[in-house]
């Protein structure tokens, strides 16, 4: 299970994710779960199949030119992408400012749902959420640690992607568990 947390603020929108991915044939590994498309001022994230992010990113790049057209494309074509068990999150800038939405078959019945303030997935206790909400930046690593405690499939690095008018910033803000320190397997 991927951790995807979205925060919509007055001048920016952010996705905070983990990097842990499961390998059915061997050990787990780290993978980016967010793709930035700077010229559109958007970023995408997926929960589900590891290769889904590449499919969604490429489709949006081919059929959209900004947040509104990417949102419209996902609303119209999500079910045709063959990703029925995949959740897709879209963040970016609109004429009105920062925006976010998501779509998935199991959670939104393949319909776009706007995210007005934020979303935390997987969920955490109210107490853990309140600590995070009190200081979003300082609280990010702790939020993902709480998500890891409740779901061992959350792990690796804490990756932050923030979209502002004219820029996208992405960085690592912490480590969730020991997976992040493992060396990749030799080919």
Is 80 exceeded by the pLDDT of residue 24? no
- pLDDT value of residue 167: 97
pLDDT value of residue 179: 56
The residues that bridge with 1 in the sheet, in sequence order, are none
Give the model's pLDDT for residue 28.
84
CATH tag, 4-181? 3.60.20.10
The residues, ordered by sequence, that sit 6+ positions from 13 with a Cβ below 8 Å of its Cβ are: 6, 7, 91, 92, 93, 98, 99, 100, 162, 163
187 pLDDT exceeds 60?
no
Give backbone dihedrals phi and psi of 33, rounded to 5 degrees, phi first: -110, 10
Give the pLDDT score at 137.
Answer: 76
Burial of 90 (0-12, 13-18, 19+ CB in 10 A): buried
Over residues 147-155, mean pLDDT: 90
pLDDT greater than 60 at residue 186: no
pLDDT 10s digits, 80-110: 999 988 999 999 999 999 999 999 999 999 9
DSSP the chain: ---EEEEE-SSEEEEEE--EE--TTS--EE---EEEEGGGTEEEEEESSTTHHHHHHHHHHHH-SSHHHHHHHHHHHGGGGT-TT-EEEEEEEETTEEEEEEE-HHHHTT--EE-SSEEEES---HHHHHHHHHSHHHHHHHHHHHHHHH-TT--SEEEEEEEETTEEEEEEEEE-SGGGGPPPPP-
For strands 167-175 and 20-21, give the pairing: unpaired
pLDDT single digits (tens) 27-82:
888 999 999 999 999 999 999 988 999 999 999 999 999 999 999 999 999 999 99
Q: Per-residue pLDDT tens for 115-144? A: 999 999 999 988 888 888 888 777 888 889
């Amino acid at each position: 299970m991927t951790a995807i947390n979205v925060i919509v603020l007055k001048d920016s929108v952010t996705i905070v994710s983990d990097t842990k991915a499961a390998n059915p044939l061997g050990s787990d590994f780290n993978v980016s779960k967010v793709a930035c498309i700077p010229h559109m001022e958007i970023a995408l994230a997926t929960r589900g199949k590891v290769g889904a992010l590449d499919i969604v990113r490429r489709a949006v790049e081919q059929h959209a030119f900004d947040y509104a057209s990417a949102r419209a494309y996902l609303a119209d074509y999500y079910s045709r992408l063959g990703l029925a068990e995949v959740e897709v999150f879209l963040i970016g800038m609109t004429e009105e400012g920062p925006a976010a939405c998501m779509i998935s078959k199991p959670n939104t019945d393949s319909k776009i749902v706007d995210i007005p303030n934020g979303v935390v997935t997987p969920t955490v206790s109210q107490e853990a959420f309140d600590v995070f909400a009190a200081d979003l930046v300082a609280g990010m690593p702790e939020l993902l640690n709480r998500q890891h405690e409740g779901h061992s499939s959350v792990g690796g690095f804490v990756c932050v992607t923030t979209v502002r008018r004219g820029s996208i910033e992405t960085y690592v803000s912490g480590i969730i568990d020991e997976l992040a320190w493992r060396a990749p397997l030799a080919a």
